[in-house]
Amino acid sequence: MSPEITVLKSYKLQTVRNRFQPDFADSSLRSLLSSSKMLRTASRSLRAAISVRSATSKAHPFTRVPLNQVLPGFEKSEASSDTNPVLAKKRDPFDAELSTLENGLKVASQPVHGDFVTIGVAIDSGCRYEAEHKKGISHLVEKLAFASTPRRSADEIFQALDKSSAMIDCQSTRDTTIFAASCHRSGVEEILEIIADAALRPSLLDEEIKAAKETIMHENEEMRLRIETIEPLMTDWLHQAAFKHNTLGFSKFTKTEEAEGMKREDIIKFLRAHHTPARMTVSGVGVEHEELVGLSRRFFVESSEAPPSGMPSVDASRAQYTGGEVRESADLSRVGAGTPYPLLSHISLGFEGVGFKDEDFVTFCVLQSLLGGGNSFSAGGPGKGMYTRCYVDVLNHHHWMYGCQAFNHSYADAGVFAVHASAPPNGIGYALQIVLDLLLRLPEGAPKEELDRAKTQLKSQLLMNLEVRPVMFEDMARQVMGHGYRRKPWEYMQAIDNVAQADIVRVGNRLLASRPSLVGYGDIQALPTYAELDDAVARRDVKLLNPKNTKKKYFSFQ
């Protein structure tokens, strides 16, 4: 046993013994002095042991090689090139290759090191296209993903996934549905075939549809009782308020009564209209482009069927921002029951944002980074946004508020910029005042140090996210679908650096020129009316927004 461990054990034993000494002043003092002496002895022993080991041990030669140099013996890694043909080509890691096949299917690939790859297909499909379909049908399609197909049963699909160490996922957003998998490169062919069948040729058995409906109904009950689902609910209601009864305003979640009435024919109708090769982008990260093109032609071109005549046309309506409100009164006392989570009410205040093709898109992203935010239980630390305005100007000054965070939701043709906040029910009206005051001060601009910090943090988040292979896959697929090519991160970084003080002032005024979108959830009796909010925004005077509960003053100007 090393001497430092012996000293520490002796110190711990002595400390435990001192706890059982009689509670007299002299014995307590003796214990304190003894403990202090033992601690100093242990500290000296540890320092001496560390010094001896550091002097006698020999550092591995690899530790002396700078990070920008190749390790000795790895200059020519022939073995890696044999197992991964992507490594044989020296290319920019974000230099994607793009091809368009004869039926309109787009195929994009991007090089990356490693024996595992991420492949999948992104489809221009989602709840915004449900105008001519049953509302919530895209959510049901998501729940039916990777069930049985004419080639394989559900059990055979999972056996194939297990053989290739694959993880699969299907996510449906307002404008995109993604079928994707991460697997070993030896299983690319079989896994891509499974993905193609899931997107184009699902069996849709009656028992599978029934199970998917039951899953949706169960989730609808659970969503109102779980802490982590409050934000998705608030985001969904925010879009309903911002884009009332059109495109992006359709709910992402299937209502229970709507799910019960959906039939197999409704699902087939939606799939045939939207899951067509011309609306798809097959993407692969870590896959050789020629290989991906050949497999895509086999599974998405030669095996696909032409849609039958008489199918409804795809809704190409442009999203129309309307502004408005959604109020969901509810008893949230059961949310977080048995945990330290307090009883809260929630609000979201939004304004018209911009689409990702707009010239002000990057400036809005910087604005979101400037506001930042989080909740009162954030771990903090570098890069956690503790110096953003939602922390510095809101949470640090109003201890009774649980959370305050900015969000920037952007789509091809529209967007919504919002701030979510949570507070006790009797303070939710004042929370709305605080959030509105935060947004009304945006046209004043930001000091250079604050703006530089926001831009640096945004660039850091961009690059760190792109270190993850599934994020690289989704980013590439969405870029190709939205812009027609893969925009490299350096383009965005340059655009971020170009954002100036005048741009923040300009987009702040542009933001406040639209009507507000308000969401209230929980006990919202103290929440001001939408008319009062609209008037306060139009006059840009937060004093006009008086909460109904005026017994307690939170501001000096009240």
Taking only the tens place, the pLDDT of each residue in 141-187 is: 999 999 999 999 999 999 999 999 999 999 999 999 999 999 999 99
| 176-187 per-residue burial string, b: 16 or more CB within 10 A, e: under 16 | bbbbbbbbebeb
Residue 16 banded pLDDT, cuts 50, 70, 90:
very low
Phi and psi angles of residue 352, each rounded to the nearest 5 degrees, phi first: -65, 125
Per-residue pLDDT at 4 exceeds 50: no
Query: Pairing between strand 345-352 and 415-423?
Result: antiparallel
How far out from the chain centre does Cα 339 lie?
A: 25
Q: Which token pair is 426?
A: 């009797």
pLDDT value for 549: 55
Q: Return the residue matching tokens 């790859």.
A: 117
- The Cα angle at residue 121 between residues 460 and 287, in degrees rounded to 5: 70
Q: Which of 285, 86, 277, 138 is nearest to 200 (CA)?
A: 277
pLDDT value for 148: 95
Q: Is 486 within 8 Å of 96 (Cβ atoms)? A: yes
Q: Which token pair is 471?
A: 């994020």
Query: Pairing between strand 403-410 and 97-100?
Result: unpaired
Q: Is the dihedral of CA 544, 545, 548, 553 positive or negative?
A: negative
Q: Is 136 within 8 Å of 255 (Cβ atoms)? A: yes
Q: How many CB atoms are located within 10 Å of the residue 123 CB? A: 25
Per-residue pLDDT at 32 exceeds 50: no
Roughly how many angstroms between the first and final C-alpha of the chain, as a whole number? 69
d(CA 392, CA 387) in angstroms, rounded, equals 6
d(CA 185, CA 183) in angstroms, rounded, equals 6
* Ranges 32-36, 47-51, 384-388, most confident: 384-388
Per-residue pLDDT at 20 exceeds 50: no
φ/ψ bin of 518: left (φ > 0), alpha (ψ from -120 to 50), beta (otherwise): beta
**DSSP for residue 340:** S
pLDDT in tens, 219-240: 999 998 888 899 999 999 999 9
Helices and strands of the chain, counted as H and E runs: 19, 12
Which of the residue ranges 11-15, 340-344, 410-414 would you say has the lowest mean pLDDT?
Answer: 11-15
**DSSP for residue 86:** G
Q: Give me the half-sphere count of Cα atoms (radius 13 Å) on the Cβ side of residue 557.
A: 10
pLDDT in tens, 371-429: 998 887 655 544 456 789 999 999 999 999 999 999 999 999 999 999 999 999 999 99
Residue 261 banded pLDDT, cuts 50, 70, 90:
very high
Higher pLDDT among residues 497 and 29, named by residue: 497
Residue 558 banded pLDDT, cuts 50, 70, 90:
very low
pLDDT value for 29: 38
Per-residue pLDDT at 112 exceeds 90: no
Q: What average pLDDT does the segment 463-473 reach?
A: 92
Q: Which of 424, 232, 226 is nearest to 339 (CA)?
A: 226
Q: What average pLDDT does the segment 197-223 reach?
A: 95
Q: What average pLDDT does the segment 339-357 reach?
A: 94
Per-residue pLDDT at 555 exceeds 70: no
- The Cα angle at residue 108 between residues 91 and 136, in degrees rounded to 5: 145
d(CA 16, CA 34) in angstroms, rounded, equals 12
pLDDT value for 73: 75
Per-residue pLDDT at 135 exceeds 60: yes
pLDDT in tens, 53-108: 554 455 567 677 887 788 777 766 544 445 555 555 556 778 899 999 999 999 99
pLDDT value for 28: 43
Helix-helix angle 289-296:188-200, to 10 degrees: 40
Q: Return the residue matching tokens 């595992």.
A: 116
Q: What average pLDDT does the segment 284-294 reach?
A: 95
How far out from the chain centre does Cα 551 lie?
A: 39
Per-residue pLDDT at 364 exceeds 70: yes
pLDDT value for 200: 94
Q: Mind giving me the DSSP string for 183-213?
A: EEGGGHHHHHHHHHHHHH-----HHHHHHHH
Which of the residue ranges 19-23, 164-168, 198-202 would you say has the lowest mean pLDDT?
Answer: 19-23
pLDDT value for 76: 61
Q: What average pLDDT does the segment 453-475 reach?
A: 93
Q: Is 371 within 8 Å of 419 (Cβ atoms)? A: yes
Q: Give me the half-sphere count of Cα atoms (radius 13 Å) on the Cβ side of residue 318.
A: 6
pLDDT in tens, 158-167: 999 999 999 9
pTM for this structure?
0.82
**DSSP for residue 128:** G
d(CA 478, CA 549) in angstroms, rounded, equals 46
Per-residue pLDDT at 328 exceeds 80: yes
pLDDT value for 11: 36
Phi and psi angles of residue 422, each rounded to the nearest 5 degrees, phi first: -130, 140
Mean pLDDT of the chain: 85
Q: Is 198 within 8 Å of 181 (Cβ atoms)? A: no
Q: Which of 14, 2, 22, 18 is nearest to 38 (CA)?
A: 14
Query: Pairing between strand 116-123 and 280-285?
Result: antiparallel
Q: How many CB atoms are located within 10 Å of the residue 391 CB? A: 23
pLDDT value for 548: 64
Per-residue pLDDT at 213 exceeds 50: yes
pLDDT value for 71: 79
**pLDDT above 70 covers what percent of the chain?**
80
